[in-house]
Amino acid sequence: MEEDYIVNTRDNYQGRHGRFTQWSEDRSNSQPAAKCRQLLLHYIQQSIVKTGMLCGDTTVRILDAGCGPGRDVAAFNGENITIPDQPATTLDVECMGFDCCQGFVDTCKSKGLNVVMADFISFFNNNNKKYHGVFSLASLFHLPSCELVKVLGLFHQHLHPNGVLLTTIPEGVRDSEGGDGRWVLHLPVEQHKKLVENAGFTILHTQHVNIYNGCWFLIVAQKCAKEAS
């Protein structure tokens, strides 16, 4: 049985998925999202150079967790990463995603994207795939804090050794259902950082990002080598 917070959040987006899709492409949202994607790609490249994370793989695999209408999945699939070997090596990027809103998933599939309908917990059930990067932009804040702990653990489990995670959560103190039915989580910066570290990650980069009419605290983190498995 689905949790109420999932059902209510999904129903909210299902009722306005078309409007949200258009809004996601507005420059005020698409430009900061592009910068976030480049941050993740940069740190994945650094991890490959420093740790040999790919272990012979020729494709960089990224999971967009809570991908909405697929703007970032599509953009990642058009990217590549250059490794400055002698000679330089260019690696293709392959991105898949999931979202709990059927309208968003249908939009993604109409674009030919590899996206499935699932929530943060159900996606990982019976899923043994591992990724070099996990991108979760403006989506984890729909989780109660107790569920966030579980999901960060699942991200860790499904990342390759030295894989890279990008998260954003609004700064503040809130963990409750909003007036529109969606669950809303805001965290103090130090608590956000501690949760990521306790899940087995080393924080590489932090900053604030303005997107979707809000200010979000962004963390880029790497699966700890000593925890890697």
Kindly report whether the peptide bond that precedes residue 161 is cis, defined as omega within 30 degrees of 0.
Answer: no
Report domain extents, the chain: 4-223
Please, is 63 exposed, middle or buried when counting C-beta atoms within 10 Å of its C-beta (0-12, 13-18, 19+)?
buried
Tokens of 179: 């007036």
pLDDT at residue 54 in the model? 86
- Dist. CA 50–CA 33, nearest whole Å: 26
- The residue ranges of DSSP E strands in the chain, in sequence order, are 59-65, 80-83, 89-99, 115-117, 131-136, 159-170, 174-177, 183-186, 201-211, 214-223
Amino acid of residue 74: A
Q: Could you tell me the end-to-end alpha-carbon distance of the chain, in angstroms, rounded to an integer?
A: 31
pLDDT at residue 198 in the model? 97
- Dist. CA 81–CA 85, nearest whole Å: 12
- Dist. CA 53–CA 182, nearest whole Å: 37
pLDDT at residue 52 in the model? 87
Q: Nearest CA to 54 among 157, 131, 136, 152?
A: 131
Answer yes or no: CATH 3.30.460.10 is held by domain 4-223: no
pLDDT at residue 190 in the model? 98
pLDDT at residue 228 in the model? 46
Amino acid of residue 184: V
Q: What is the pTM of this model?
A: 0.96
Per-residue pLDDT of the chain (229 residues; tens, 9 = 90+): 578 999 999 999 999 999 999 999 999 999 999 999 999 999 999 999 999 898 778 899 999 999 999 999 999 999 999 998 768 889 999 999 999 999 999 999 999 999 999 999 999 997 889 999 999 999 999 999 999 999 999 999 999 999 999 999 999 999 999 999 999 999 999 999 999 999 999 999 999 999 999 999 999 999 987 644 4
Q: What angle do CA 41, 201, 168 make, to 5 degrees?
A: 60
